[in-house]
Amino acid sequence: MKYSTQIINEQEQERIHKQSIRILEEVGVRFHGEKALDILAKHGAKVDWDSKIAKIPAALVEQALATSPKSFVLGSRNPQYDLAMPSPISYYCMDGTAAFALDFESGERRYGTRKDIRNAMRIFQQLDLGRMAWAPTTASDAPSPSRALHEFFEMVRNCSKHGQHELHTTSQVPYLIEGLTAIMGSEDELKRRNAFSLIYCPVAPLTHDGEMLDAYLELGQVNMPVMIMPMPVPGSTGPASLFGTLCLANAETLSSIVIYQLAHPGRPLVYSSAMGTLDFATGGYLGGTTEMGLQSAALSVMGRFYNLPCSCAGCTSDAMEAGPQAVMEKLITSLPPAMAGADIIVGFGEIQSDQLLVLEQMIVDNEIAHYCKRVVEGIDCSEEKALFDEIAQVGPGGHFLKTKGTRLAPRSGEFYASKLMDRTSYEAWTNLGKPTMYTRAKEQVHAILAGPVVDALPSEVEGRLEEILRRADEELKE
């Protein structure tokens, strides 16, 4: 029996939907940029051109939901990692664009660089439950106008799993299409495989960035999927209740679905969210809270309410250093959305409220993901698992250690055996130097970085990407 949870019931899901529609119809959403308002006005939305606010009728929402694909495959450079969505289990995504990285050799906290993206992607490639790659830090050593392109290409050249990132301006679009086409071999193959996608975060509350949205609408020409991830925080950029913020976030997602589907009907979209909480003592953002996990679970359910592939933030922590607090917070923010059936949970590898990349944390997070997966799998209550014959054979006062069921159990998948945790005797643990999960994780990081790049791009494609980036650096100068 699969272990699941009901975080919000059917009546509550309907209430969130209706409240969201009311927000869209009566409050409206501000759209900056040059493209969105024209599209919305032509399809019947009420547009105030001075305020740039569009009031979106329920009929447009229904139309957009009807054309949004209910299932599709997020492809990869290596088809082995293609992910059909919806997925029967939760997979995980790298956390992204942190400002800082913890230098693996020196332990120094410093701004992230392209090398940090490179190293993290090589590790992410080896994590079996990691399926969607993000650029984990900003590339502070790349020119600002072309930085997003450096981050995107550094990510996809070092990891052959599905790659997702962002663009900031329409001027970056041609370079991205040219680079991704070079990687996939042709523009037709780029469109067909869905190996790369975009992350889009509306600006809470109820606002859409102009340049980014314009760029993403242009990228509809190559049918790039978009993961829509609203980020209101209760008490600051959202109302000071979980329910009110869920309604606001859902409204922001629906407004995004409307504009993307009106512009390019049938474009693949992923319903997502990343909703932290407010530190009411300081006004700061918190990502490693119980409420974060609850909100992620609830909006994963709303994704299913609309029959859309869904993801959410999770596996998040506000801890200042890798350790017990990070593990506790990452577990409590991963388990609820995993039990709610999220296809992808975003959060591997970072702490300090998503602002510090720690390479060994990636290994630990993959282990946390395995624990969550095993909980969700639940208990197999099939007849063959009753093992009545063995119970009868052993009888009262006997022992099952020598039975066939016990011999087969370690390979049955029913009992998860961690390779990261230490479960030896105290004496053996002491003799081994008292290792922790983090010391073992560091050993794995060392081994991965000492080995070759997996699924490396052909040298001619690498050269093409370098040439594209050189042109972008020169031509996009501020």
- The per-residue pLDDT for 4 is 73
- Cβ burial, residue 291 (10 Å; 0-12/13-18/19+): middle
Please give the C-alpha separations between residue 99 and each of 27, 95, 110, 139, 356, in angstroms, as whole numbers: 34, 12, 8, 9, 7
Flag whether 421 is in a domain. Answer: no
Q: Which residues pair with 9 in a beta bridge?
A: none
Confidence of residue 478 (pLDDT cuts 50, 70, 90): low
Flag whether 441 is in a domain. Answer: no
Average pLDDT along the chain: 97
Q: How far apart are the first and last CA of the chain?
A: 58
HSE-up (13 A, CA, CB side) for residue 33: 26
Q: Give the residue among 39, 37, 57 at the shortest CA–CA distance from 49.
A: 37
Flag whether 79 is in a domain. Answer: yes
Q: What is the CATH number of the domain that holds 353?
A: 3.20.20.480
- Mean pLDDT of the 163-180 span: 98
- Mean pLDDT of the 233-258 span: 98
Q: Which residues pair with 31 in a beta bridge?
A: 208
Question: What pLDDT digit, counting tens, does each position of 177-197 carry?
Answer: 999 999 999 999 999 999 999
By residue range, what is the domain housing residue 77? 64-377
Question: What pLDDT digit, counting tens, does each position of 341-353 carry?
Answer: 999 999 999 999 9
HSE-up (13 A, CA, CB side) for residue 316: 31
How many of the other CB atoms lie within 10 Å of CB of 255? 31
Question: What pLDDT digit, counting tens, does each position of 199-242 carry?
Answer: 999 999 999 999 999 999 999 999 999 999 999 999 999 999 99
Domain count, the chain: 1
Flag whether 174 is in a domain. Answer: yes
- Mean pLDDT of the 453-461 span: 97
HSE-up (13 A, CA, CB side) for residue 380: 12
φ and ψ at residue 465, rounded to 5 degrees: -65, -40
Confidence of residue 260 (pLDDT cuts 50, 70, 90): very high
Question: What pLDDT digit, counting tens, does each position of 283-312 carry?
Answer: 999 999 999 999 999 999 999 999 999 999
- Mean pLDDT of the 446-453 span: 97
Per-position b or e across 384-421, b if 16+ CB within 10 A of its CB: eeebeeeeeeeeeeeeeeebeeeeeeeeeeeeeeeebe
Flag whether 344 is in a domain. Answer: yes
- The per-residue pLDDT for 1 is 64
Residue 394 has pLDDT above 80, yes or no: yes
The dihedral over CA atoms of 168, 170, 171, 176, expressed in degrees to the nearest 10, equals 80
Side chain identity at residue 286, one-letter code:
L
Are residues 21 and 61 in contact, defined by beta-carbon separation less than 8 angstroms?
yes
Question: What pLDDT digit, counting tens, does each position of 111-145 carry?
Answer: 999 999 999 999 999 999 999 999 999 999 999 99
Flag whether 445 is in a domain. Answer: no
Are residues 327 and 358 in contact, defined by beta-carbon separation less than 8 angstroms?
no
The dihedral over CA atoms of 379, 384, 385, 391, expressed in degrees to the nearest 10, equals 160
- Mean pLDDT of the 154-158 span: 97
Q: Give the residue among 407, 346, 334, 433 at the shortest CA–CA distance from 375.
A: 334
Q: CA angle 439-440-442, nearest 5°?
A: 65
Q: CA angle 310-314-316, nearest 5°?
A: 160
Confidence of residue 3 (pLDDT cuts 50, 70, 90): confident
Residue 17 has pLDDT above 70, yes or no: yes
Flag whether 166 is in a domain. Answer: yes
Q: CA angle 313-239-341, nearest 5°?
A: 30
In what side-by-side order are the strands of the sheet with 46-48?
A: 46-48, 53-55, 29-31, 207-208
Q: Give the residue among 214, 153, 121 at the shortest CA–CA distance from 469.
A: 153
Residue 410 has pLDDT above 70, yes or no: yes
For 168, residues 6+ apart whose C-beta sits below 8 A from its C-beta are 148, 211, 212, 215
Flag whether 41 is in a domain. Answer: no
